[in-house]
Amino acid sequence: MLSSLSLRAPPNRYSSLPLLGEHLEGLCESLSAQGYPREAIRRRVLATPLLSATLCKAGVHALRELTAADLSSLAPQPTYWTAQLACSLVRSLTEYLQDRGELASAPTTPTDTKIDAFCRYLKNVRGLGTETVAGHRARAAPFLRSLEYDTHPLALRNLDEGDIESFLLHEGQRVGRVTMQKVAATLRALLRYLAAQGEAPSDVYRTVASSRCYRGERLPRVLPWDSVRSLLHSIDRTTPKGRRDFAILLMIATYGLRAGEIAALKLDDVQWRLRQIRIPRPKVGPELLQPLTDDVAAALLDYLRNGRGTSEYRQLFLRVRIPPGPIKSSAVADVFDEWSSRAGVQRLPKRAGGPHCLRHSVATHLLRAGASVKTIGDLLGHRSVESTEVYLRLQVDDLRAVALPLPTGVALDVTP
């Protein structure tokens, strides 16, 4: 395939490059099989001389000497066009060589071993879900690194309150109060596990202080329903991406779905003959059945016929960029951010949760339209009525009607 690309030099000029030349033909065929257009492949090949020179300058004698992290770290700084292409080449090359076992395995550190054992305990003993375990992993590893556990394996046995406080103070400067609760919970779970293994003091986990947060202390962040309509009307449905994005946001605005639920939808979940849609709920477990409305059905048909294309993947929503594949939850947030910005929708604080504010907007809109709290809770898949009752606080007009009048004849002292 290399010979069929319109390159700036003869193909053998690239196939004879040190380190990279022998892999170029296979890399090009692999990218083509993944759906990369010829121009994207050609641009990566054009960047191979720069990457080859960078590797030689770094003293690399064979790619087998490098781990995936090593190869990624050698990507040129993307300060100009060719270097940007070289970064894309490094990403594609790393994936290609990893799949074929052509890169060295990253050495396993004592921290990695300890965290792996902790995660197995969370999954097999405590029965936590995959995503929850991944969150614990991401929050537990920095604590062991803060103790320099790889070079000081006895640090856990000598652990004291000062070490814990120092770590929590550092994390507190990086994340918010709500996230700090999760950090503290993970740290307590880790220290209890290590204590049970005899590797940490038995009661040190009790010294882990958590930030104080109150249930329902923050109101849901909502958009006015007119803004939700403006957002949907602003989407350009003449392109495959626009058709996909419109279907995604319309489903959130209709059913109040979470981003993870959108990403988990499969083709079989849309039951056309029964006029219903099955909503997978990775967060809470049991699936939820919702009626397939005419508007949602029309949007999905438009996307499936004119936007999705043919694919071996069974997920409903796919990426529009190469390589093809299912979208992730983060892609739903990107969709919301892009179109809300284009529509000029009133911007919410970054902590508003992105597309999750549409879920809150649906609940508030239904509540103001007279729907019962139980009906809204069933639509959103809440397990408890308490989760839905938070929206009652947004009924400002109704709350004004039940407010008690101020007592007459009483002088109020308003001096500071």
Catalytic residue among 258, 308, 360, 365: 258
214 is catalytic: no
- For strands 276-281 and 285-291, give the pairing: antiparallel
What's 15-49 look like in SS3? HCCCCCHHHHHHHHHHHHHCCCCHHHHHHHHHCHH
Catalytic residue among 23, 42, 243, 359: 359
Using CA atoms, how far apart are residues 206 and 6, in angstroms rounded to an integer? 66
Q: Out of 42, 114, 308, 382, which one is annotated catalytic?
A: 382
Active site residue 382: yes
Which residues are CB-contacts of 250 (< 8 A; sequence separation ≥ 6)? 232, 295, 296, 299
Residue 342 appears among annotated catalytic residues: no
| Annotation says 123 is catalytic | no
Closest CA to 210 of 186, 194, 192: 186
To the query of whether residue 258 is one of the catalytic residues in this protein, the response is yes
Does 360 participate in catalysis according to the annotation? Answer: no
- As a whole number of angstroms, the distance between CA 379 and CA 135 comes to 28
Give the long-range contacts of residues 91-99, CB within 8 A, separation 24 or more.
92/27, 92/31, 92/44, 93/20, 93/23, 93/27, 93/51, 94/68, 96/23, 96/26, 96/27, 96/30, 96/31, 97/23, 97/63, 97/71, 98/68, 99/30
- Exactly one of 283, 328, 342, 383 is catalytic; name it: 283
Rounded Cα–Cα distance for residues 228 and 250 (Å): 9
Q: Distance between alpha carbon 196 and the CA centroid of its chain, in Å? A: 33
82 within 8 A of 50, measured Cβ to Cβ: yes
Provide the token pair at 144.
């062991």
390: exposed, middle or buried (Cβ count in 10 Å: 0-12, 13-18, 19+):
middle
Given 23, 308, 356, 360, which residue is catalytic? Answer: 356
Instruction: List residues with catalytic annotation.
Output: 258, 283, 356, 359, 382, 391
